[in-house]
Amino acid sequence: MVVSCKEKSDLKALLNEKDSIALKNKLEEVFIKNELVGMSVLVLSDGKIAWHSAFGKANMSQHIPITENTIYRVASISKTIIAIAIMQLWEDGKVDLDTDISNYLGWSLRNPKFPDIPITLKQLLSHQSGIRDGEGYQRFSNDMISEKLDIRELFLSNESYFTDDQFADHSPGDYFSYANCSWGIIASVIENVSQQRLDNYCRKEIFKPMALKADFNVANLTHLDSLAVLYTYDDEKWISQADDYSDKLPQNRAFEGYELGQNGLLFGPQGSLRSSAKDLSAIAIMLMNDGTYNNNQILEKATVDFMLKSQWEYNGKNGDTWENFFLSYGIGIHQTTNTPNGDIIFPDRKMVGHPGIAYGLLSDMYLEKDKRSGIIFITNGSKNKFEYGEKSTFYQVEEDIFQTVFPYLKTIEQNAIPKN
């Protein structure tokens, strides 16, 4: 299905019918080459949806196709939305990004190797806190609901889920080390400061004002048939890994007796946002529009500028780059630098946004604010193992998508230039 430019944008003659069909066909070749289950591809130009297409299945057993309304568990793109939430609280004067985060937790968070150095929100939001996903993180995640765990049981050295690899050998603020569990700390702060559960806060302060169906609580989704099942392929068969509710309903993860701030990991701030490509594009457009969407001010312009500004840049020794993928990072925002054979999406522009990978899913939400362009790509599974691309450190399927879309994006931008 292709969503026509007429339906989705007031730009004139973005792509003629021939080019639109050609782009659809070439993306279908990428889809087939990479043996994907399903995928969504959305292109932004002039701050609007310029092209949107869907391929394959959302649910293989029930033969449900991917559509423009399909909702995915979008993995680490979730971090950008959590950053938006904390920056709203920052605008309201309820948090300071540079103060000791322990002030907002009610307990002392310290790297045991550097007990006298405080950890700050800014460090957490830019992956410079020294926190890592230690061996205890997975056990904690598996047990946290059944055992009604407190998040401090993962981070305090005298607790049963703590492991020595939970913290790096680097002082807070000195080294970039991408981590997931640290976003549970940020979410706990959001709950303590706002006195709202994380999913409720994001729904009230971000998703409802923007008229989005996105949600951190899968139990709150009203149309489960629009939810994509995430798949991996093994032993010559597809295996559902997440969001397969064919014969059961999702359970609310907030266990009885849960107290605000007790465990910010409960609703997956690091990766459990459910969103369609269209709703992710709204987040990108809001950032392009200096924090405004549909006449609702979600963030102030200065806040957006600060979020998109680099808080860390690789200098050759100050971070783990994941083989030249992470070379610059803002506030919950990955920044591409177009380093050769590295973090390249489109060759003529550096972009900001976030990738995601989990349970067979691969996702991207990236934008370029000055050109007001962007791309959303999501797939819910591939028969092939994800491997790095030939010309970048994005995965090959992402590289294929970007290279296929780029010339058509250029055509869209050229056609949108007013003729004298």
pLDDT of residue 2: 38
Q: Are 72 and 275 in contact (CB under 8 A)?
A: yes
pLDDT above 90 for 113: yes
Taking Cα atoms as reference points, which of 66, 58, 64 lies closest to residue 2? 66
- Rounded to whole angstroms, the Cα distance separating 237 from 231 reads 10
Average pLDDT over residues 126-139: 97
Q: Poorest-confidence range of 189-193, 218-222, 269-273, 276-280? A: 218-222
- pLDDT digits 0-9 by tens, 384-393: 999 999 999 9
Contacting residues for 274 by C-beta, under 8 A, at least 6 apart: 71, 72, 73, 74, 214, 215, 216, 218, 221, 227, 243
The residue assigned the tokens 């702060």 is 189
pLDDT of residue 16: 87
- Rounded to whole angstroms, the Cα distance separating 268 from 279 reads 18
Average pLDDT, the chain: 94
E strand spans, 278-327? 292-293, 296-297, 312-313
pLDDT of residue 11: 39
- pLDDT digits 0-9 by tens, 37-81: 999 999 999 999 999 999 999 999 999 999 999 999 999 999 999
Average pLDDT over residues 329-357: 97
Taking Cα atoms as reference points, which of 411, 369, 329 lies closest to residue 129? 329
Residue 14 confidence class, pLDDT cut points 50, 70, 90 = confident
- Rounded to whole angstroms, the Cα distance separating 272 from 261 reads 18
pLDDT above 80 for 8: no
pLDDT of residue 172: 98
- Rounded to whole angstroms, the Cα distance separating 297 from 294 reads 8
pLDDT of residue 33: 97
Residue type, 24: K
Average pLDDT over residues 169-189: 97
pLDDT of residue 9: 40
pLDDT of residue 222: 81
Taking Cα atoms as reference points, which of 263, 296, 269, 291 lies closest to residue 215? 269
pLDDT of residue 352: 98
pLDDT of residue 12: 39
pLDDT of residue 418: 58
Average pLDDT over residues 203-213: 97
pLDDT of residue 4: 36
pLDDT of residue 417: 66
| 139-142: long-range contacts, CB 8 A cutoff, minimum separation 24 | 140/181, 140/265, 141/265
Average pLDDT over residues 322-340: 97
E strand spans, 21-133? 38-45, 48-59, 64-65, 71-73
Neighbour-count burial of 391, counting CB atoms closer than 10 A to its CB (0-12 exposed, 13-18 middle, 19+ buried): middle
Query: For 359, what's the count of Cα atoms within 13 Å in the CB-facing half-sphere?
Result: 19
As given in the structure block, the two tokens for residue 189 are: 């702060």
Strand, coil or helix: what is 379?
A: strand
- Rounded to whole angstroms, the Cα distance separating 316 from 203 reads 40
pLDDT of residue 136: 97
pLDDT above 60 for 10: no
The runs of H, that is alpha helices, within 9-57 are: 17-33
Residues β-bridged to residue 376: 42, 365
The residue assigned the tokens 């959305």 is 42
Contacting residues for 322 by C-beta, under 8 A, at least 6 apart: 178, 393
Burial 270-286 (b: 16+ CB within 10 A, else e): bbbbbbbbbbbbbbbbb
- In the chain, what are the domains? 72-132+167-245+262-389 (3.40.710.10)
Average pLDDT over residues 297-318: 98
Query: For 285, what's the count of Cα atoms within 13 Å in the CB-facing half-sphere?
Result: 22
Taking Cα atoms as reference points, which of 411, 407, 410, 402 lies closest to residue 30? 402
Angle at 329 between CA 382 and CA 268, to 5 degrees: 55
How many Cβ atoms are within 10 Å of 32's Cβ, its own excluded? 11
- Say what the alpha-carbon torsion angle 179, 181, 187, 193 is, to the nearest 10 degrees: -100
Average pLDDT over residues 241-250: 90
